[in-house]
A and B are shown apart, each in its own frame.
Chain A
Amino acid sequence: MKRPALLPVLAVLLVVAVVPMFGYLKLGTRVGTRTATLKWDDLPIRYFVTDRPAPQVTQQQFQAAITRAFSTWEAVQSAETSSQFVGFTQANPQSGDGMTVLGFTNRPDLDRVLGATNFIIDTTTADIVESDIFFNTAFQWSVDPAGVPGRHDLESIALHEIGHLHGLGHSAIGETELIAGGRRVLGAESVMFPIAFPPGSVNDRTLRADDIAGITDIYPTTASRRERGSISGKVTKNGQGVLGAHIVAFNPATGALVGGFSLNEDGSFTIGGLEPGPQVLRVEPLDDADIDSFFDASLNVDVNFRVRFHDKVVVVPVGGGARDVEIKVTPK
């Protein structure tokens, strides 16, 4: 590294070092012996809305919030997705009816789950045939543009769930704090962070770089295929691969934070949908989160290692990939 570049890089490292991070994750499904990425091959996504209100939210307000959330994803210029509201239905947002339905339903047994996205997938092709999203009326909801204290923002949660519907898994750049008797999300640079902002917040109505990279990775436009790139490599500890490590790419030029996970026993990872240019890489363990929220329980996720920055700046080429990056971590 040339000395003139050192100071800016160190400044970047100091900023990044105090922010816990995740990266985006794509949903996958088994097709025979392989795992395929979930995505809609036939666009637009045609969806219905359950003709049922919740306290403080009418069917029409619900439908309008859902439409805004779809539009937010569709406004990503580097990705190509579309949707179409078909109409209201008496059907519940549940599987097996052949329709993609979004609506309110009461799940008191899932008393900490605000909403959930359900897929029906053709396991022979990995095509998404149907997807449903329910919003739990065990909670209080709001569609007020400024948010309402004590009520969860429907559009924010819808944006997260519709991210799942497009094939994105739980991934985020987020930060939490411990308070007396609970845990609170302080900030998130991804709407796909798996835990919600406190009631009244409307922070998650805006997509961040991590979300944009994720949706671009799944539904790239022709231009973004040419213009965006990726980083791949592996995370190792004592010569062995580290499974479940978070690798976050920080672009000093744009301030974008985009990440991924090492998803194999050999510690290998790939982060796609990146803007070209220099990237600073940081690796951290998933030691404060519910591992089951991210990975299959059969995976032997390693959380016993220290945060580590890669000792070189990695340059993502235009339309290509920076490969064979190895980041060596040490035990705590």
Chain B
Amino acid sequence: MPYSRRAVLCFVWCALFAPLDATVLIPAEFREIVNGSDIIASGRVIDTTPEWGDNRKRIDTRVTLQVGTYLKGGPGETVVFKVPGGEIGRFRNVMVGAPVFRTGDEVVVFLTRRTSEEPMVFGLNQGVFRISFDEQTKRRVVVRPAVLARGESPEIVVRGSAARRSVPLETFGAQVQAVLAEGAPRGAR
């Protein structure tokens, strides 16, 4: 087959097909997320740039966060981290379970540095807590509540518990600070 025809077919292949991924995760309790993260920051996404990774075998997206508050670490006014998946031209790579960020998103992110590259979100998606505006209270709240053990004894997580609800961003920040003040639990990384 002439090279030009192969190139055209390759382009058509890339243009027509979009990848998806799905995952099995190791779950973490909130203290583990806090203590296992190198950077914890809240802020607004100001840029998302997809790029090829692993010799063009996959697409990752570099996310730039304009940081409002650092709860841990703090490299500067912005922090850049990487998430699996993204879209380049007509080629789309989606990892089910991997967080997707858009410009303007408000989030609290828990980031780790496992390699020499940009930090990544703790536990693929476990380190993302999205912020929204509560019309009733007129406050910014963290949508996903922290799943936090109250003691040493095992405690079953009951979905729908009245005690677990979206909390104001300030309250969530205080929860993080309290965990940091406790120090790393035994067995946490």
Contact = CB atoms under 8 A, between A and B. Distances in A.
Contact of A95 (B19, B23, B155): B19
Give the secondary structure class of B's interface: loop
A298 interface: yes
Contacts of B18: 29, 120-121, 123
Interface string A300-316: 11011111000000000
Interface in A1-49: 18, 20-21, 27, 29, 38
B20 A284 contact: no
Interface string A120-160: 11111000011000000000000000000000000001001
Contacts of A160: 24
Nearest to B164: A287
B157 A288 contact: yes
Contacts of A320: none
A185 B159 contact: no
A181 B187 contact: yes
Interface residues of B, number: 69
A96 B57 contact: yes
A179 B149 contact: yes
Contacts of B125: 290, 292-293
A288 B132 CA distance: 17
A287 B25 contact: no
Given A112-B25, A185-B27, A303-B143, 13 more contacts: A27-B96, A115-B23, A179-B29, A180-B149, A181-B187, A183-B32, A196-B24, A284-B160, A285-B160, A287-B145, A288-B159, A292-B125, A304-B165
Interface of B: 13, 16-29, 31-32, 54, 57-58, 84, 92-93, 95-102, 105, 112, 114-115, 117, 120, 122-126, 128, 130, 132, 143-145, 147-150, 152, 154-162, 164-166, 185-188
6 contacts: A20-B160, A112-B123, A123-B16, A179-B154, A183-B27, A246-B159
